[in-house]
Amino acid sequence: MKSINGIQFADMVQMGAHHLFQNADYVDALNVFPVPDGDTGTNMNLSMTSGAKETAAHTHEHIGKTAQALSKGLLMGARGNSGVILSQLFRGFGKSIEQLDVLNAKQFADALNYGVETAYKAVMKPVEGTILTVAKDSARKAVEVSEDVDDIRELMEAIVAEAKKSLDRTPDLLPVLKEVGVVDSGGQGLVFVYEGFLASLKGEALPSKTIGSSMDDLVSAEHHMNVQGFMDTADIEFGFCTEFMVRFEEGKKSFDETAFRNDLSEYGDSLLVISDNEIAKIHIHSETPGEVLTYGQQYGDLIKIKIENMRQQHTEIVGEGYSSQATTKKAEVHPYAIVTVAMGTGVSELLKSLGASAVIEGGQTMNPSTEDIVKAVEAVGAERVLILPNNKNIVMAAEQAAEILGIEAAVVPTKTIPQGMAAILAFNPQATVEENKNNMTEAYAHVKTGQVTFAVRDTSIDGVEIKKDDFMALAEGKIVLSTLL
């Protein structure tokens, strides 16, 4: 094939759009940059669909005019970063062949290259390792190959091959991709478009979804999302990352992907299923991997089984002792706990004897942080917790802790130790957290607190003259008397 006209080009565009459409979900899953919101595939697909629609409506024998239609459709329908870039690539492409009736290999390569130049002009600081890089690398290759090759089909093959190679290199250029272990989503979208072009030129059916590598990327992306969600090992609900393949067999249950997915989703989350006529590859996070495998066996032979304990992996990452975490914590769960703050062993023992589950060391001069409180509560391992700060400076930290704990928690804002003691006495293990909070708050409201301390310097507060080394009497936090005995 030495040249293509507008009608052939329009068919290429349709195939490209169709191929992208079929794989939009996959592209979505790869989306981690610039904002990991998982919409690249959707956006690119909408952009490309708009381009393809306009092309279909204005297909002309004259390739320049057809390309103009594509350019216009893409521009109007551009969505998302990758969509806008795609529209620029084909705007430049269309601009450079505006006057041409038909396109030969050399002109095709130059047009692609011009598209890349146009696209790069519209950005101040291009980020490499994205769709821009994939477009650039493949266009350069096209120009190089077109020196010797005048068959457009052959040229397009070289372009697709280079685009794929360039896509594989994107993680080396953009650190966030490497971190997550995926290739760039926009770049992948462009590869799908080019693959569609090639399929059209060859007059072949579209390449089917490849089970192997694409599954790995999906799994990485899925794990990435999960890792972000888990702060603590104990939060992992489904502990085993289970991957396996089923080779379908005659006489076994016949495979229906939707039903298969629905059944499997009962066993856990992060479910991924990719299948063709012979095998299905499955990835799932489950607490009962054995049952998942048994289920899979109903359809045929199991091959390539891999099960990993994610709790262990997670604790290794977080760097905390595994055994102490998951096992002992679950062994003794207190339904209800009171966590409070006090300074000194004596007071601490006193509070514990009244029913406090844990006493955090701290007070006026040493306020425990939110983190200290969270840790103390977690160490107790209760389902519901009441936090008594016993100091007005700790109330805020306690409230923050209650918010991030993820279990039922309430703060009874006690400001002194005697208030805390009165509050604990009003605790009722049968009542709800809210009822307890109200009862306990009411109970300490009647408590009057007196404190005795000594002065470290001369001053005058609230009309009371204070001299260094004086003994001071405080009632409800206010100095009422200062004298030397």
Partner 1 sequence: MSIELKNEFGLIDISQDTVAQIVGGAAIECYGIVGMASKHQIRDGLTDILRKENFTKGVLVRQEKEDLHIDMYIIVSYGTKISEIAYQVQSKVKYTLNKSLGMSVKSVNVYVQGVRVANV
CA 328 to chain centre: 30
User: Who's near 157: CB < 8 A, 6+ residues apart?
Assistant: 198
Whole-Å CA distances, 75 to 47, 49, 97, 100, 122? 8, 11, 17, 21, 14
Q: Cβ 95 to partner 1, closest distance in Å?
A: 6
> Which lies closer to partner 1 via its Cβ, residue 70 or residue 421?
70
**How long a stretch of residues is the chain?**
485
Least distance in Å: CB of 439 to partner 1?
Answer: 27
| Residue 387 CB, nearest approach to partner 1 (Å) | 14
User: Quick check: 260 and 280 in contact, CB under 8 A?
Assistant: yes
* 175, 196 Cβ separation under 8 angstroms: no
Looking at beta carbons only, is 280 or 401 nearer to partner 1?
A: 401
What is the separation of C-alpha 298 from the centre of its chain, rounded to a whole number of angstroms? 33
Contact 9, 66 (CB under 8 A): yes
Task: Tell the smallest beta-carbon distance from residue 166 to partner 1 (Å).
Answer: 18
Q: Smallest Cα–Cα separation from 245: which of 280, 218, 195, 293?
A: 280
Q: How far is the CB of 347 from partner 1 (least distance, A)?
A: 22
What is the smallest separation between the CB atom of 83 and partner 1, expressed in angstroms? 7
Q: Which of 124/452 has CB closer to partner 1?
A: 124
Quote the least distance from Cβ 145 to partner 1, whole Å: 25
Nearer to partner 1, 376 or 443 (CB): 376
Q: Which is nearer to partner 1, 65 or 95 (CB)?
A: 95
Compare residues 91 and 283 and give the one whose CB is closer to partner 1.
91
Residue number with CB closer to partner 1 (286 or 370):
370
Is 80 or 171 the residue whose CB approaches partner 1 more closely?
80
The CA-CA-CA angle for residues 75, 33, 236, to 5°, reads 135
CB of 385 to partner 1, least distance (A): 19
Q: Smallest gap, in angstroms, from Cβ of residue 429 to partner 1?
A: 30
* Terminal Cα distance for the chain, rounded: 109
Contacts of 145 (CB under 8 A, 6+ apart): 109, 154, 155, 158, 159
Report d(CA 475, CA 451) in Å as an integer.
Answer: 6
Instruction: Find the shortest distance in angstroms from Cβ 319 to partner 1.
Output: 23
The smaller minimum CB distance to partner 1, of residues 6 and 83, is found at 83
Residue 347 CB-density burial (10 A; 0-12 exposed, 13-18 middle, 19+ buried)? middle
Q: Give me the amino acid identity at 352.
A: K
Minimum CB separation from partner 1 for residue 432, in Å? 28
**Chain CA centroid to CA 172, Å:** 21
Kindly list the residues in this chain that would bind partner 1 in the complex (CB under 8 A): 34-35, 37, 75-76, 78-81, 83-85, 87-88, 91-92, 95, 118, 121-125, 127, 132, 367, 369-370, 396-397, 400
- C-alpha 261/C-alpha 276 separation (Å) is 14
Nearer to partner 1, 46 or 280 (CB): 46
- 155-178 as b/e, with b when 16 or more CB fall inside 10 Å? bbbbbbebbbebbebbbeebeebe
CA–CA–CA angle 170, 175, 177 (5° rounding): 55
Rounded to whole angstroms, the Cα distance separating 112 from 109 reads: 5
CB of residue 372 to partner 1, shortest distance in Å: 10
- Which residue number, 312 or 400, has a Cβ lying nearer to partner 1? 400
Tell me the C-alpha distance between 452 and 470, whole Å: 11
Between 91 and 437, name the residue whose CB sits nearer to partner 1. 91
Integer Cα distance of 33 and 130 in angstroms: 9
